[in-house]
Amino acid sequence: MKLADGESLLLKTYRRALSVVDALSVGQGELLTVTNRDYYFMSKDELARVSLGKHVVAKCRVPADW
């Protein structure tokens, strides 16, 4: 879902999380999104379209028991 400025809430959240990883200077980091089946592919595609930085791996998962 796009907001008024054209970015999704998911993308805005990832950018904020990325700034925290950068501020902590922890080097390699992972950002994990847990979603339900209805939003899995939408979230995965949205994150694949953006460059989150060279030190961050974006993963999108659905809980195993769903």
Tens digit of each residue's pLDDT (9 = 90 or more) over 8-57:
888 888 888 878 877 776 666 677 777 787 888 888 888 777 766 544 45
pTM equals 0.62
Say how far apart CA 1 and CA 38 lie, in whole Å: 13
**String of DSSP letters for 41-54:** HHHHHHHHHS---T
| Structure-token pair, residue 18 | 């990325």
Tens digit of each residue's pLDDT (9 = 90 or more) over 33-43:
777 878 888 88
| Structure-token pair, residue 35 | 């979603």
Residue whose pair of structure tokens reads 């950002």 in the numeric block: 31
Structural domain spans, the chain: 28-66
Calculate the CA 42 to chain-centre distance. 11
